[in-house]
Amino acid sequence: ALRVGVRQPGGEAMTAPEFSLNVLTRDISLYLENQVKVGLFGSGVGLSLVLGFSAAYAYYYLSSVAKKPQLVSGGETFCQFLQEHCPVVSETYYPTFWCWEGRIQTLLRPFITAKPWVEYRNELLKMADGGQISLDWFDNDDSERHPDAATRPTVLLLPGLTGTSRESYILHMVQQSRELGYRCVVFNNRGVSNERLLTPRTYCAANTEDLEAAIAHIQSITSAAPLVAAGVSMGGMMLANYLGQKGRETCLRAAAVFSAGWDVFECTASLEKPLNRLLFNSYLTSCLQASVQRHRQILEKLFDIDSIMKANTIREFDERFTSIMFGYPSNDDYYRDASPCHKLKSVQVPTLCLNAADDVFSPGGAIPVEAVRQNPNLAMLVTAHGGHIGFLEGLWPRHSTYMDRVFRQFIKAIFEQGSTLQNL
């Protein structure tokens, strides 16, 4: 459309588009000529830069990223047991070199890791208040190591905040258990696994009534089989709170807790930082709201659903929904009760905990190392990196993670050598 005349040497006029094209062509030609000269006479410089950067990055990775985890235990017996039967606790953890940072590990794991195929047998368990929870059983009837179903070791798995038996980390734990010949049961919180919500009540990290009922039910039908539990994220918080409340009055032989939020106040404060809020908080809040919306018909009898749907953070969601549902005077009261760090002193079965120091859901400063040192039944494994349920390792981490290896070695050691820990 522009017809601005530009005079060429020689007097012939060019339009603006023609002039721009000629200038661009001239500049590209000059650039290519320069690149050819650099290629002929200076290619070694570029190669040296690449090699120098690679060497510097490798040095930084090996000196500052790849480290042995910190192992803290309240008793020498448990510590020696882990070092002898779970060598992974003493090995250097090499996070995937191109995504070792905590946020990146957290974000990428669901997309990178494969989802092993698992066929469950579903059971809906009725609760005393008229509600129901969904248990997904992997019976492992083809087990060669433990062909007798009556005595086949059983692993109870608890997923995270909005997770189900189909989460990749749960499927990997089931796969590890299957290879060892064990049976698995996945505890799905109320209303998250496509089952109908029968009463206006869901779940929270502090309330362990449903978990207690599920454990009692599992024990009643597999009474001759040893039972171990493993919880991830909020599932780990619920499991730790259960262990602290029950003390010795539990049939669990041992437990494993992965990426738990030990102090809920610290967790929410970390998740409300601008970048973390953008990457994680808003998404999880929307997932919680979607679950409420799915069960709106029964929940709106007791709750202001429109107000809940306007929550922008997990804290606001809990203030408008969770803390009210479970009868807490305030949200602070709920967060205090939900924080497992206050109950660790009462845990009376061998419990191994794994956290990453760069987990934005459970910041390193909130990991209860001192509380663990006061209880001989506890051991805390802290890696420098790994994020939240990340722990990716290897060049292309499609399969087993560091967390999976810790899980596999620990449950195997408990089922096969755990008798040495009976008198902790």
List the catalytic residues: 233, 359, 388
Instruction: Phi first, then psi: give them for residue 20, nearest 5 degrees.
Output: -60, -40
Distance CA 402, CA 355 (A): 11
Q: How many other C-beta atoms can be found within 10 angstroms of the C-beta atom of residue 30?
A: 10
Distance CA 209, CA 2 (A): 76
Residue 70, classed as helix, strand or coil, is: strand
Burial 352-366 (b: 16+ CB within 10 A, else e): bbbbbbbbbbbbbeb
Distance CA 247, CA 329 (A): 26
Amino acid at 33: E
> If we measure between CA atoms, which residue out of 222, 225, 109 comes closest to residue 171?
109
Residue 393 has what DSSP assignment?
B
As to burial, measured by CB atoms within 10 angstroms (0-12 exposed, 13-18 middle, 19+ buried), residue 223 is exposed
Beta bridge partners of 380: 72, 353
